[in-house]
Amino acid sequence: MDLDTIREVVVARERADLRMLGASTAVLAGGTFLFSEPQDQLERLVDITTMGWPPFEVVADGLEIAATCTLAEFAGAAPGRELGMPVLREGWPGTALFAPSCRALLASHKIWRSATVGGNVCLALPAGAVLGALTALDGVALIWAADGSDRRIPLRDLVLGPGHTVLRPGEVLRSIRVPRSSLLARTSFRKIALAPLGRSGAVVLGRRDPDGRCAVTLTAATVRPIVLDFAAAPDDTEIAGAVGALDPTLWFDDPHGSPEWRRHVAGLLARAVAAELRVRES
């Protein structure tokens, strides 16, 4: 869609170029959502894909994933400039969640090559499966604040509800760091949709860390990613109790599934995920 209110596109080269962000100025990365509907409030876009951020950077305590990393790079459909995804998969089993989370999106491979990890996270949509995967892996967002300071926010605390985050005006998501313990974790993934090619109605992701601790993350079915933490792989009673105890207002309602259906199927998928984590634990 043409955005006929846009008067200027700024090519960002350094952090100082982001200072103009505000009510009438927005970040442009992949643009797959930005150009999908009218944005009448906007007059200027700041393109951050020119900042030169590598998709992946191995750091001392894990992996830093740039906000401008495309879904294709994230899924391993295209190798990163600095580090190929096959290398990551071989050494870090936790990255097994990357590709299926992208496949849980209702998007073509053309979209995969332009849509970004940061866009999927910041849109904060219930069906944001990349957001769910990085939340399941205990990802922590690096936020560049408008005053030049930095802050780090766990992804499980970033999203407040559909389309709503704790990001403040002028803030930019720079990257997401996945800790080494999550990269070394064993994982499990389940999803369901009302139609074979439809938007996911429920996605459940499991993670068992090297120390035995487990987390089961619900997304798509809920208004924001919900992480259930356990000291060890939960049994059916524990997982059913944890899912059943969730606030009823957390279950999402749209044409892709009623809250009642989503609660039911999320419970079934969570039990399957927990069972797989128990098998791998034994």
Is position 1 within any domain?
no
Tokens of residue 11, six digits: 């090519």
Question: Is pTM, for the whole model, over 0.85?
Answer: yes
What is the mean predicted confidence (pLDDT) over 53-79? Answer: 87
Residue 33 has pLDDT above 90, yes or no: no
Model pLDDT for residues 91-147, shown as the tens digit of each residue: 799 999 999 998 887 777 778 889 999 999 999 999 888 999 999 999 999 999 988
Residue 280 has pLDDT above 70, yes or no: no
Domain residues for the domain of 162 are 51-181
Mark which of 181, 214, 245 sits at the end of a domain. 181
Does residue 198 share a domain with residue 113? Answer: no
Tokens of residue 214, six digits: 């487990």
Please state, in angstroms and rounded to a whole number, the distance separating the CA atoms of residues 64 and 57.
Answer: 5
Does residue 148 share a domain with residue 193? Answer: no
Residue among 62, 44, 202 nearest 142 (CA) = 62
**232 vs 216, 226, 235, 243, 246, CA distance in Å?**
11, 18, 9, 16, 20
Look at residue 1 in the predicted model and tell me its pLDDT. 65
Do residues 192 and 269 lie in contact, with contact meaning Cβ atoms separated by under 8 Å?
A: yes
Does residue 169 share a domain with residue 60? Answer: yes
Look at residue 104 in the predicted model and tell me its pLDDT. 87
Please state, in angstroms and rounded to a whole number, the distance separating the CA atoms of residues 193 and 199.
Answer: 6
Contact partners, residue 237, CB within 8 Å, separation at least 6: none
Least confident of 128-137, 172-181, 196-205, 206-215: 196-205
pLDDT grade for 90, boundaries at 50, 70 and 90? low
Sheet holding 56-59, edge to edge: 56-59, 62-66, 172-179, 140-144, 150-154
Could you give the percent of the chain with pLDDT greater than 90? 73
Higher per-residue pLDDT: 2 or 74: 74
Model pLDDT for residues 146-161, shown as the tens digit of each residue: 889 999 999 999 999 9
Does residue 159 share a domain with residue 90? Answer: yes
Residue 269 has pLDDT above 60, yes or no: yes
Residue 77 has pLDDT above 60, yes or no: no
Do residues 136 and 156 lie in contact, with contact meaning Cβ atoms separated by under 8 Å?
A: no
Does residue 70 share a domain with residue 93? Answer: yes
Does residue 81 share a domain with residue 169? Answer: yes
Does residue 165 share a domain with residue 68? Answer: yes
What is the mean predicted confidence (pLDDT) over 47-74? Answer: 94
Is position 2 within any domain?
no
Do residues 22 and 169 lie in contact, with contact meaning Cβ atoms separated by under 8 Å?
A: yes
CATH number, domain at 168? Answer: 3.30.465.10
Look at residue 81 in the predicted model and tell me its pLDDT. 40
